[in-house]
Amino acid sequence: GVREPDINICEEVTDFSSSVCIVPGIAYDKQGYRLGYGKGYYDRFLKKFTFISLGLCYNELMMDSLPTDEYDISVDYIITQDGLLNV
């Protein structure tokens, strides 16, 4: 499994102003919305903070559009084999 940080020795980060968040996804659309696993973890996280969000996606998994709900948050950029897409 994935090891978790020891909360007794880790410092909580609260300033994300100069951060980049790499957001995993099964597929992305050209508006920056992603197909995830349906739990909304990343959407809730992205809603709280203002920083650059970046998705990584194979060209074959880029869709014209995906179904979205009002709580879905899009990423700012998507990187594919062909380059950077500013969404």
The catalytic residue positions are: 34, 43, 72
Residue reference for tokens 């909580």: 12
Q: Cα Rg for the chain, rounded, in angstroms? A: 14
Q: Which SS3 state, helix, strand or coil, does residue 53 take?
A: strand
- Residue pair 46/21 in contact by the 8 Å Cβ criterion: yes
